[in-house]
Structure 1
Amino acid sequence: MPPEINRQDDEDIGEGAPHWMVTFSDMTTLLLTFFVLLFTFAQIDLVKFRMVLGSIKEAFGVQRVTQKGQFPTAENTPFQVFEYQKLDSVIEMFYRQAKIYKELQKAFKNVPGVEILVSERGIVVRAEDKIFFDLGKADIKPEAYPFLEKMADIIKEFPEYKVGIEGHTCDLPIHNVRFPSNWELSAVRATTVLRYFVSQGIEPKRLKAIGYADTKPLLPNTSEANRSKNRRVEFVFSVETEEQTFTRQFREVLRKIESERLKLKTEKSS
């Protein structure tokens, strides 16, 4: 006679968590580690940091509600934002972007006339032109080379990044044999910096130089102080990968973290 099956015990055994939940839990743990890493880099108040995370709660698609009885699919699970096979590369990309941001902050945040920003274009190091050039000239000043050497070292440390060197002027006109207008001045300045980076062993294909003349002022050209801000060189770090969507999300995270950090700094100083 076959053994009797205990139906009661069988009924007590639940189905357990869905299969996708295990992988999703791993992903959540990795993302939590990533945000803790950002918190360490930014050095902001924990409450402020949580406020930032709350403001981007939908950025990773984890707020969707699955109706009762609805089987999780690629369209209604939190995993829809990520392609499973790309998850490791996405996490690595996040880590690398946080690292280069930290390196740039460490190298240049205390240099007068320098700002480090995160924008849709990438991570931007904005430096006033007087750090590198005399007014109306495009020859690199000797005292600018330590700055450029540090920048070259960081560019070489992160070979996956392309770097755009952008020259900007104010609205003061220039007209001489070498520079018929601000277009030539801004372009030659950007190209001069690019050539220096190439001389330091950086691959030319990773670099580009652009001169914008006075077409992209930061402030109205109504005073010398404003004109000094508008005369600048910008170094734009960008990465071109299949994960560009995730890169844009990360940039938004950093932008909000930096905004909260500056707000907190202002509150403490007032």
Structure 2
Amino acid sequence: MDTSSSSRRASAKRGHDHADHDSHEGHEDGRSDRWLISYADVVTTMMVLFLALYVLQLAKNKALEIKVFDAHVAGQRTAGAQPASSPAPALVQRDRARRELMASLAPLRETSEISVEPVAQGVEIAINAKVLFDSGDAHLRPASFDELSKVALALTRHSTRNILVEGHSDNVPIANAKYESNWELSSARAGAVVRFLVERGVEPHRLAAVGRADNVPLVIGDDAAARAANRRVTILVQD
């Protein structure tokens, strides 16, 4: 009988211990579940927030694109409605000065030995050397005074720009006691033209003279016609 009572008490104790163990495990599992639920809520909230910010940024970018497009269309309409822009006043004045100068020099173009042409730097007057000088000499021929006087008159009345006078020779070495090379001859001829223009009223500070010898040929070749064409004096009226 005592043995039976002892068995019942041991069995009851084991049951009580088992119940306490289950209750403890249930309590721990409950706290773990609540922690996981709280973490999931935070992650979900952050994802929703980031998604909302992303959608807002997309909306702003779209609005900016529409604004830029509308401004571009408005600019095109305005440009289409306006007349084409007129040339700059400086270009208009330069072109007018060129035309006036060339018109005043038109009588010189009646001879085939003198040309008047617009070039990139301005207006160029080219005079064949035989009109101005005797062969191998740098003294102006009296017969050239009329043509050079017309040039000087046009330069004083229709231009205030700088003027570059260049002497050019052929490629035949000069044999002259006065000029040792074509450099000296071409420089002396350019200087003679400058002196004449100054005497006829062209301001000295506008003028410069340089000899080019045969380094800037008008015609490439060694025949007599090419050499004759290359012997010249050019007067460049700069823009």
Using the size of structure 2 for normalisation, the TM-score is 0.63
Match of 1:21 in 2: none
2:87 and 2:228 mapped to 1: Cα distance? Answer: 44
Match of 1:26 in 2: none
Match of 1:125 in 2: 125
Match of 1:203 in 2: 203
Match of 2:75 in 1: 70
Q: Which of structures 1 and 2 has the larger relative contact order (alpha carbons within 8 angstroms, sep 6+)?
A: 1
1:221 and 1:131 mapped to 2: Cα distance? Answer: 22
Amino acid at match of 1:103: S
1:111 aligned onto 2:111: yes
Match of 1:180 in 2: 180
Gaps of 5+ in 1: 1-65, 240-270
Q: Is the alpha carbon distance of 1:99 and 1:159 closer, same or farther for their aligned partners in structure 2, counting shifts above 3 Å?
A: closer
Contact kept in structure 1, 2:163 and 2:236, CA below 8 Å: yes
Contact kept in structure 1, 2:136 and 2:185, CA below 8 Å: yes
Amino acid at match of 2:187: A
1:153 aligned onto 2:153: yes
Q: How much does 1:90 deviate?
A: 4.2
What does the per-residue CA deviation read over 1:17-60, in whole Å, with 9 as the maximum and x for residues that have no partner?
xxxxxxxxxxxxxxxxxxxxxxxxxxxxxxxxxxxxxxxxxxxx
What does the per-residue CA deviation read over 1:56-87, in whole Å, with 9 as the maximum and x for residues that have no partner?
xxxxxxxxxx95312769xx9954964xxxx3
1:92 and 1:164 mapped to 2: Cα distance? Answer: 21
1:165 and 1:200 mapped to 2: Cα distance? Answer: 15
Secondary structure of residue in 2 paired with 1:189: helix
1:166 aligned onto 2:166: yes
1:99 aligned onto 2:104: no
Amino acid at match of 1:97: R
- The RMSD of aligned alpha carbons is 2.4
1:112 and 1:201 mapped to 2: Cα distance? Answer: 27
Using the size of structure 1 for normalisation, the TM-score is 0.56
Amino acid at match of 1:168: H
2:121 and 2:135 mapped to 1: Cα distance? Answer: 28
Identity %: 27
Match of 2:139 in 1: 139
Contact kept in structure 2, 1:138 and 1:188, CA below 8 Å: yes
Q: Is the alpha carbon distance of 1:67 and 1:101 closer, same or farther for their aligned partners in structure 2, counting shifts above 3 Å?
A: farther
Match of 1:219 in 2: 219
Contact kept in structure 2, 1:221 and 1:227, CA below 8 Å: yes
Contact kept in structure 1, 2:183 and 2:212, CA below 8 Å: yes
Secondary structure of residue in 1 paired with 2:115: strand
Amino acid at match of 1:70: G
Structure having the higher helix fraction is: 2
Q: Is the alpha carbon distance of 1:81 and 1:154 closer, same or farther for their aligned partners in structure 2, counting shifts above 3 Å?
A: closer
1:181 and 1:80 mapped to 2: Cα distance? Answer: 51
Contact kept in structure 1, 2:167 and 2:232, CA below 8 Å: yes
What does the per-residue CA deviation read over 1:174-205, in whole Å, with 9 as the maximum and x for residues that have no partner?
13332110000000000011011111222111
Contact kept in structure 2, 1:122 and 1:237, CA below 8 Å: yes
1:227 and 1:98 mapped to 2: Cα distance? Answer: 31
What does the per-residue CA deviation read over 1:205-239, in whole Å, with 9 as the maximum and x for residues that have no partner?
11111110000111123211110000011111112
Amino acid at match of 1:219: V
2:87 and 2:92 mapped to 1: Cα distance? Answer: 13
